[in-house]
Amino acid sequence: MRHTIAQHTGVLRTALRRMFASPLAGILNILVIGIALSLPAGLYVLLHNAQGLLTQLSGTPQISLFMSMEAKTDDVEHLRKQLAGHPAIAGAEFVSRAQALEQLKQSTGLADVIGGLKQNPLPDTFIVHPKQSDAQALNQLSIELAKLPKVELAQLDSAWAYKLEALLKFGRLAVLILASLLSLALIAITFNTIRLQILTQRDEIEVSKLIGATDGFIRRPFLYFGATQGLLGGIAAWLIITASLRLLNGQLTALTQLYASQFALHPLSPGDSLSLLLFSAYLGWLGAWLSVARHLSQVEPR
C-alpha cells in the first residue's frame, strides 16, 4: 500500500515538474483553462441569482378560488380546512363578498353606481399562495382546486410564471451550449499539450518500452498531467468567479440601496464548487487520455 502511494506521488511530482518546466507557459495554460471555464460557470451563477431576483420582481403566484353564490358559512369553513391541510399550499386568505365589494368601490371610484345595486354580485373568494412557482405545478394545482366542492372557478395568474420559466430555460440552454463548446476547446488544448510532450519525450518513451515498461506505466504521468492541469484550471476559474462576484457586489450594494433593496449576488455553493473542480479535472484527464491513446501507439522502439 505504501509502495503504491509512493509510486503515485512520484508520478504526480513528475507531472507537476513537467507542467512548470516552463513556468510562464504552464501558468498561461492554466489561466486559459480558468478563463474558459469561468465563462459558463459565471453565467450559471448569474442565472441562478437572476432566478431569485425575477421571482421577487414578479411577485408570489396566486390562485383565486371563486366560490358558488349558494355557498354557506359551513362550506366556507370546510374549504378553509381543506386548503390549510393541502401540502402544496403555503397559505390562503379569505375575502368575503362584502370585503370584495368594498374593495371594488375603492379601486374603481364607482361607489354610487355600485351602491345602487340590489344585491352583491361578487362571490366569496380564497386567495391561495402555492409553495411552488413552476408553471406546470401551478396548472395542476389549479385544476385540482377547481374540483373542490362549492368552488365555481379557479383562476391562475400564470402568465408571469410561463414567461419566467421560458426565460430561464433559454438561459440554461445557452449556458449548456457554451459549456459544451468550451469543454471541447479545453479537451483540444490538453490533447495538443500532451501530443507535444509525447513527441518531446519520444526517445525516453522508446527506452522505457525497450526495458519492458507497459503502456499503462508510460501513460500514467501524462494522465496525471492532464488531470492536474485541468484541476488547477478549475481552481483558477473558481477564483475568477469569486473575485468577480465580490467586485460586482461592491457596485451592486450602492445600486440596491437606491431602490431600498437588499439583493446581492451569491457565490458558487460548496456543491457547485466541487462539481466545477471535478469536471475541470475530468476534462483535463479526458484530453490527455485521448492524446495518449492516439499518439503513444506511434512511438515504437527502433
Q: What is the pLDDT of residues 184-210, one digit of tens each?
A: 888 888 888 888 877 777 777 767 667
Amino acid identity for residue 150 in this structure: K
End-to-end CA distance of the chain: 36
What pTM, to 2 d.p., does this model score?
0.63
Topology (CATH) of 62-157: Alpha-Beta Plaits (3.30.70)
| Per-residue pLDDT tens over the stretch 56-79 | 555 567 888 888 888 888 888 888
- Domain locations in the chain as residue ranges: 2-57+163-298, 62-157
pLDDT of residue 280: 92
Q: What is the pLDDT of residue 45?
A: 86
Q: Return the percentage of the chain with pLDDT > 90, whole number.
A: 7
Check residue 4 and give its pLDDT: 63
**pLDDT at 259 exceeding the cut of 60:** no
Other Cβ atoms less than 10 A from the Cβ of 136: the count is 12
Q: Is 251 left (phi over 0), alpha (psi -120 to 50) or beta?
A: alpha
What is the per-residue pLDDT for 257?
62
Q: What is the mean pLDDT of residues 263-282?
A: 87
- Averaged pLDDT score across all residues of the chain: 78
Q: Say if CB 66 and CB 269 are below 8 A apart.
A: no
- pLDDT band at 30; cut points 50, 70, 90: confident
Give per-residue pLDDT as tens, 162-191.
Answer: 677 777 788 888 888 988 988 888 888 888
